[in-house]
Amino acid sequence: MTASLSSVSVVFGREFRAYFATPLAAIFLVVFLALAGAMTFFVSGFFARGSADMAAFFTWMPWLFLVLLPAIGMRLWAEERRSGTIELLMTMPVAPWTIVLGKFLAGWAFTGVALALTTPLWITVNWLGSPDNGVIAAGYLGTFLMAGAFLAIAACISTLTKNQVIAFISAAIVTFLLVTAGLELVLGAIRGWAPYWMTEAVAALSVLEHFQRITQGLIEAPTLIFFGSLIVLALMINTFLVDLKKAQ
Amino acid sequence: MTTLVEARGLKKRFGDMTAVDDVSLSVARGEVVGFLGPNGAGKSTTMKMITGFLEPDTGTAEVGGHDVWRDPTSAKAKLGYLPEGAPAYGDMPVADFLSFVGKMRGLRKAELNNRLAEMADRVRLTEVWSRPIEALSKGYRRRVGIAQALIHDPDVLILDEPTDGLDPNQKHEMRNLIREIAPNKSIIVSTHILEEVEAVCSRAVIIAAGRVVADATPRDLVGSKDDGRAIQIRIGSPEEASVIEKIKPLADGAELEVMERMNGSTRVLLRYNDKPEDTRAIETRLKSADLPVEEVGIYRPRLEDVFRDVTTRIH
Ligand SMILES: Nc1ncnc2c1ncn2[C@@H]1O[C@H](COP(=O)(O)OP(=O)(O)OP(=O)(O)O)[C@@H](O)[C@H]1O
Ligand SMILES: [Mg+2]
């Protein structure tokens, strides 16, 4: 057990630092902050709304994240396979799941850094009025959980290719489908031909539905279970796929 | 002697192609096995199965007494591995990379620092210690790969072409290093450099098309082909066909074989079923036929000849 914990933390340390080894991390953070700011202030009209909350900010997160998290997750395994370092990694005396988890947590922590950099907005909202800080905290929690789910999916997909660009595009497509699954537009299109249970199943996969509830301040078990199980499932598939694809 | 590596009946297919076909190999403590074979013979694939990276279709491998598939963590803990091409994280400085591998291999702070210092010194990495690996020359990168395999002082060392890309001095150092650490380890080294095998290996295992075709000490391998019944002739002419035509009638009862052509001369082998003719008699005869004879002597095979022989003939 302690050996597993230590290998998770060693992998975590290496991966987390790897994000900052190139200027890419800084570029990424700047792009994220710029996009989040632009959406909040210009598209949603943060000031014009005249209400002291961060709804204008959170609304955009699923759409931003479906591009940004595939970008964070794409190199996790594709690059190991391309450079052959996966051969070193998988001949270390540790359980493969600890490597999968360490890599995932590093990407998630990096997302955490990005989110932490948006807290000036939270402070601004408090300065302008008196928002319900509980709701905002729930919003951050939801955003972070959603990021985890997207990242786990992106990491999982990056095991399937040696090409980071392909990993990025595939992960973006899958997360896009996951976000839009709950939209009436999509459900309406399925309802015409699919059986009832299938429509329900697709609707249940909807990230938006859960995300919207949590950003309204509703921290409910189904939502936590939804994001939690998405993460766990994706990481389990990730572990399986690494083993399957490592030597190809 | 303790056997530290025991592979039995390893088989691996890729699609319709059988890359490794029933390879068994056992290596005792103190042995350095040179793993030889032409390109695509299955050396790397065999090594990947022994290190637990690739699962064999059939067969088993044990490292330090632990089955690589049933108890992978214990088996892998005994093992240092340099994969083909010496992969490493290019963005990491040498020190950070080695420290990462050391921690993954369970080394604690004080021990890790000792080992890092020892690697810097023994594998001669001090000069490049804080440079990112992607900025290193090929030879240094290979050395980082070796240091990585040695960081935890493993019982078993599996090195896939460790001297590829090293300059002659570095090759020499690498051989010395292997010789130094050899007495209490089991080492398998794949290489295409046969003199290396003669210099450091206590045993040579040659594989061709996925099968072991020879397994003996380099001396015995050479000895097995050395029956004293062949004569080697060097002729100062690169025209193989005409040389053969001219020698044929002068060497009664011998089978002719062109060994190689280099630097404008041709090496021809006369194989006899019995005791060969006197070399001086042959030399005189060739000279009187106006052939530019450079050397005539009893043929003493080199490892290279044995290698070519066992990997190109179908047995
Ligand atoms: N992942 C793979 N998928 C398909 N075929 C493979 C794979 N890995 C190896 N092979 C094939 O298996 C055979 C053995 O390859 P291997 O790399 O073991 O040879 P080798 O003896 O190490 O050769 P070299 O001296 O060139 O390094 C080759 O024909 C190779 O093309
Ligand atoms: Mg090879």
Annotated domain spans of chain B: 3-223, 227-299
How confident is the prediction for chain B on average, in pLDDT? Answer: 90
Atom 7 (ligand 1) nearest CA? B14
Cα B82 to ligand 2 centroid, rounded to whole Å? 11
Q: Do A87 and B101 touch (CB under 8 A)?
A: no
Q: Output phi, psi for A218, to 5 deg.
A: -95, 95
In this structure, how many other beta carbons lie within 10 angstroms of the beta carbon of residue B109?
A: 9
Mean pLDDT, range A87-95, rounded to an integer: 96
Cα A146 versus chain centre, distance: 5
Residue B113 sits at the vertex; the CA angle it makes with B109 and B116, to the nearest 5 degrees, is 135
- Classify residue A245 by burial, with Cβ atoms within 10 Å: 0-12, 13-18, 19+: middle
User: Among the listed ranges A82-91, B104-113, B198-207, B216-225, which one has the minimum average pLDDT value?
Assistant: B216-225
Q: Is the pLDDT of residue A231 over 70?
A: yes
Atom 30 (ligand 1) nearest CA? B40
Cα B18 to ligand 1 centroid, rounded to whole Å? 10
Fold for the domain defined by B227-299 = Alpha-Beta Plaits (3.30.70)
- The alpha-carbon gap from A102 to the nearest alpha carbon of chain B, in Å, equals 12
Q: Please give the sequence-ordered ranges of beta strands (E in DSSP) within chain A, or none if there are none.
A: none
Closest ligand 1 atom to residue B20 Cα is 14
- The alpha-carbon gap from A91 to the nearest alpha carbon of chain B, in Å, equals 6
C-alpha span between B205 and B33 (Å, rounded): 7
Q: Do B91 and A22 touch (CB under 8 A)?
A: yes
Q: Is the pLDDT of residue A1 over 60?
A: no
Higher pLDDT residue, A23 or B225? Answer: A23
What local confidence, expressed as pLDDT, does residue A78 receive?
94
| pLDDT tens per residue, range B24-38 | 999 999 999 999 999
Supply the CATH classification number for the domain B3-223. 3.40.50.300
Binding site membership of B44 for ligand 1 (Cβ less than 6 Å): yes
Side chain identity at residue B195, one-letter code: E
Q: Helix, strand, coil: what percent of chain B each, to 5? A: 40, 30, 30
Q: Do B89 and A22 touch (CB under 8 A)?
A: no
Atom 29 (ligand 1) nearest CA? B40
Binding site membership of A248 for ligand 1 (Cβ less than 6 Å): yes
Enumerate residues with CB within 5 Å of ligand 2 (an ion): B 43-44, 84
Sign of CA dihedral B9, B179, A87, B210: negative
Higher pLDDT residue, A114 or B308? Answer: A114
Mean pLDDT, range A86-99, rounded to an integer: 96
What local confidence, expressed as pLDDT, does residue B165 receive?
83
Look up the pTM and report it. Answer: 0.88
Q: Is the pLDDT of residue B315 over 50?
A: no
Binding site membership of B45 for ligand 1 (Cβ less than 6 Å): yes
Who contacts B108 (Cβ-Cβ below 8 Å, separation ≥6)? none
What local confidence, expressed as pLDDT, does residue A21 receive?
83
A83 touching B (Cβ < 8 Å): yes
Mean pLDDT, range A132-142, rounded to an integer: 92
User: How high is the ipTM of this complex?
Assistant: 0.89
Best mutation site among B12, B25, B43 for ligand 1 pocket (most ligand atoms within 8 Å of CB): B43
How confident is the prediction for chain A on average, in pLDDT? Answer: 88
Q: What is the DSSP string of B236-304?
A: S---HHHHHHHHGGGSTTEEEEEEEEETTEEEEEEEESSSPPPHHHHHHHHHHTT--EEEEEE----HH
Q: Looking at chain B, which residue has its C-alpha nearest residue A17? A: B92
For A84, which of B77, B85, B101 is closest by C-beta distance?
Answer: B85
For B105, which of A18, A92, A246 is closest by C-beta distance?
Answer: A92
- The alpha-carbon gap from A74 to the nearest alpha carbon of chain B, in Å, equals 16
Of B306, B314, B259, B225, nearest to B34 by C-alpha is B306
Contact A118, A36 (CB under 8 A): yes
Contact B303, B216 (CB under 8 A): no
Q: Please give the sequence-ordered ranges of beta strands (E in DSSP) within chain B, or none if there are none.
A: 3-14, 17-28, 32-36, 58-63, 66-67, 79-82, 156-160, 186-190, 203-208, 211-216, 230-235, 254-262, 265-272, 293-298
End-to-end CA distance of chain B: 32
Who contacts B143 (Cβ-Cβ below 8 Å, separation ≥6)? B123, B124, B125, B166, B170, B174
Q: Output phi, psi for B61, to 5 deg.
A: -140, 135
Atom 5 (ligand 1) nearest CA? B14
Residue B210: strand, helix, or coil: coil
User: Among the listed ranges A158-172, B50-64, B235-249, which one has the minimum average pLDDT value?
Assistant: B235-249
What local confidence, expressed as pLDDT, does residue A229 receive?
93
What local confidence, expressed as pLDDT, does residue B89 receive?
97
Q: Is the pLDDT of residue B231 over 60?
A: yes
Residues of B with CB under 8 A from a CB of A: 48, 51-54, 72-74, 76-77, 79, 81, 83-85, 87-92, 96, 100-101, 103-106, 148
Residue B70: strand, helix, or coil: coil
Q: Looking at chain B, which residue has its C-alpha nearest residue A2? A: B106
